[in-house]
Amino acid sequence: MQDIPFARPSIGDEEIEAVATVLRSGWLTTGAEALAFEKEFASFIGVRHALAVNSATAGLHLSLEATGVSPGTAVIVPSLTFTATAEVVRYLGAEVVFADILPDRLLLDPEDTARRAAAASKAGRPVAAIVPVHLAGEVCAIEPFREIAREHGAAIIEDAAHAFPSRTSAGYAGTLGTAGVFSFYANKTITTGEGGMVCTGDDALAGRIRTMRTHGIDRDAWDRYRSDLGGWYYQVVAPGFKYNMPDTAAAIGRVQLKRAESFLRRRRDAAEYYRVILTPLEERELITLPRGSTEHAWHLYVVRTSPSIDRDRVIRRLAQAGIGASVHYIPLHRMPYWSGRYGVTDKDLPRTAETADRVISLPMFPALTRSEQDRIAEVLESALREGS
């Protein structure tokens, strides 16, 4: 049992009561709660359509499907991400093209993206989508990706799993591309246990996603339940999926959404305090930062150790002291499935490879206390001193 976990959800009586109300209501699947959650979420981030789904993975799959990703096409994805970002491309029979990250950042590099998009298209594989990941909650600058997307007729699907709420002068992360996808997995900035939200301003795209998330049926169960025409009639218009969010989850999401600003304040304070107490440690640097006029959701607090440090040993020392730390991420191109399929090596993605060996994600959650952070800094300092 860890004394200080890596993440801890903030669930209170209001969430518990909201679920109990749904359980007592007799309607447990997607219904009034999910609809209300979608409306409230859309209004919070300022987007025309918000579609609740049962995971971000489902949302990414639906978004790529709706934008025409299909066998014979390519999708550009960073290798420094969770496998969900890339696996959905394979669900659709398309090919993943891994691109490198920016220097000293965790975010997809537009220049490398442009190079790889040109190469894929020259090799006869048109680029159907680019998936920038707002890793840790830091927002990718979207304009350069828009140019590449325009040139190739590709969609931009933002993987905003970490980025609720990350604000930029152009709008919230997740509203900047063709579609954006949020995760409400248990350790995310707001949670429904499992869940996600797809956001888009495109009516046709939203229509396709809405249909495909419930088996390709033209009306969902709630719509049929309320209908004067009787609940039994529907038409199947495509072989869809089963990706809807139940009301039990949506009820938790609605309460969490109301608390999102206060969670963000707590995360921002914790990030600022980490910055202050970790500044004296020479063997690390903060790798994820808010830049320019953007705000950071602080889903993760990621430090990078200097090259002479044995990073894995530092994480072991933290674990021995009862402190949960993690790594975001082991790059996908080092995973057996992905390396077997594409044969990409560290040499092809040098910045990803170098960064992946040096990063540590420290505990970060709204209820993290300053005395817990002091303890983390103490253990980190001694681990870094003896860590090379």
Contacts to ligand PLP by CB under 6 A:
55-57, 81-82, 84-85, 133, 159, 161-162, 183, 185, 196
Q: Which long-range contacts (CB under 8 A, 24 or more apart) does 100-106 make?
A: 100/349, 100/350, 100/351, 100/352, 101/351, 101/352, 101/355, 102/351, 103/351, 104/287, 105/138, 105/287, 105/288, 106/80, 106/135, 106/136, 106/138, 106/287, 106/288, 106/302, 106/328, 106/355, 106/359
Q: Six-digit token pair at 191?
A: 């949670």
The catalytic position among 188, 242, 258, 347 is: 188
Closest approach, Cβ 253 to ligand PLP, in A, equals 12
Closest approach, Cβ 308 to ligand PLP, in A, equals 29
Closest approach, Cβ 237 to ligand PLP, in A, equals 26
Q: Can you state the angle between helices 311-320 and 370-385, rounded to 10 degrees?
A: 130
Number of alpha helices (DSSP H) and beta strands (DSSP E) in the chain: 13, 12
- Report the alpha-carbon distance of residue 305 to residue 84 in Å, rounded: 27
Token look-up 């680029």 returns 127
Q: Nearer to ligand PLP by C-beta: 217 or 332?
A: 332
Q: Nearer to ligand PLP by C-beta: 183 or 373?
A: 183
**Residue 101: which region, alpha, beta or left (left: phi > 0; alpha: psi -120 to 50)?**
beta
- Degrees to nearest 5, angle at CA 102 with 84 and 68: 40
Closest approach, Cβ 272 to ligand PLP, in A, equals 24
Nearest to 312 by CA among 331, 301, 325, 299: 325
- Report the alpha-carbon distance of residue 176 to residue 170 in Å, rounded: 7
Closest approach, Cβ 255 to ligand PLP, in A, equals 18
- Report the alpha-carbon distance of residue 201 to residue 21 in Å, rounded: 32
Other beta carbons within 10 angstroms of residue 324's beta carbon come to 18
CA distances from 182 to 55, 70, 135, 159 (A): 8, 23, 12, 7
Closest approach, Cβ 378 to ligand PLP, in A, equals 29
Closest approach, Cβ 324 to ligand PLP, in A, equals 16
Q: Nearer to ligand PLP by C-beta: 57 or 294?
A: 57
Q: Nearer to ligand PLP by C-beta: 161 or 383?
A: 161
Q: Nearer to ligand PLP by C-beta: 62 or 94?
A: 62
Q: Nearer to ligand PLP by C-beta: 183 or 294?
A: 183
Q: Is 45 in a helix, a strand, or coil?
A: helix
How big is the chain by its Cα radius of gyration, in Å?
21
25 and 248 Cβ atoms separated by less than 8 Å = no
188 a catalytic residue: yes
User: Would you please indicate which residues are annotated as catalytic (active-site) residues?
Assistant: 188
